[in-house]
A = this chain, B = another copy of it.
Amino acid sequence: MAKRKAKRRTRAPQATRECLLTAAFEEIYRRGFQAASLDAILARAGVTKGALYHHFPDKAALGYAVVDEVVKGHLLQRWLGVMKDADTDPLTALQKTLRFRAASVTPGEIELGCPLNNLAQEMSPLDQEFRRRIDATFDAWRNGFARALTRGKANGTVRRDVNPQKVAAFLVASAEGSYSLAKSAGSRTILRSNLETLANFLETLRPPQRARSAAA
């Protein structure tokens, strides 16, 4: 009872792997990938070097898996979760998402920023494999937005001259930039203001005709 050994969890490789990924994500989110200490991750996960070495060949592979299996899921759920097949009005859905993100941001998110963007800034120039996997995640995000805008063009809720790919890329970039600036300012106000400005920008993408029910 005194000894905190608690060994032998009955051999659950899948659980061990997920435990490692979660611990690695938290440590990397906090310190960055290069500064993240494997020993700290191990202590947090409650496993040993041998287990880590069994599941991942080296630190980089652990980082790759964190991107693909932890960060990607979190991110897509947050930004694409509510508008799976929003056939009605994608622009409104996007605005709701932006405003919900602005409303529900935690102090921790303000301080630490977006985990994917952190990794992107740090590792993109240093490791091609990292860059590829990070960009693939950003691409999934952008594509989610672009598909929504395309649906809006199809049902007439989005202007014809809108390029869904370009606007989606701009939305993602502006959102990430908003988190970045809020992080260095240490201010959730700036994040909310920026996301609101972005939501207002979306209003300009609606067709001129219907402009609030009765315009013509």
Chain A residues near B (Cβ < 8 Å): 30-32, 34-35, 111-113, 117-118, 120-122, 124-126, 131, 134-135, 138-139, 166-167, 169-170, 172-178, 180-181, 183-186, 190, 193-194, 197-198, 201, 204
Contacts and interface: CB of A to CB of B under 8 A. Distances in A.
Contacts of A176: 177, 180-181
A170 B174 CA distance: 8
Given A190-B169, A197-B166, A180 B180 contact: yes
A30 B125 contact: yes
Given A169-B190, A175-B177, A176-B177, 16 more contacts: A30-B125, A31-B126, A32-B122, A111-B124, A112-B125, A113-B121, A113-B124, A120-B184, A131-B184, A134-B184, A135-B185, A138-B185, A167-B197, A170-B174, A173-B181, A177-B180
Contacts of A35: 34-35
B177 A135 contact: no
Contacts of A198: 170
Contact of A124 (B122, B172, B186): B186
A180 B120 CA distance: 8
Contacts of A139: 185
A184 B115 CA distance: 13
A197 B177 contact: no
Nearest to A201: B201
B184 A170 contact: no
A181 to B, nearest CB: 4
Contacts of A31: 126
Nearest to A111: B125
16 contacts: A34-B35, A118-B121, A120-B180, A121-B122, A124-B186, A131-B184, A134-B184, A135-B186, A138-B181, A138-B184, A138-B185, A139-B185, A166-B193, A170-B198, A173-B177, A180-B180
B177 A124 contact: no
Contacts of A134: 184
Nearest to A165: B193
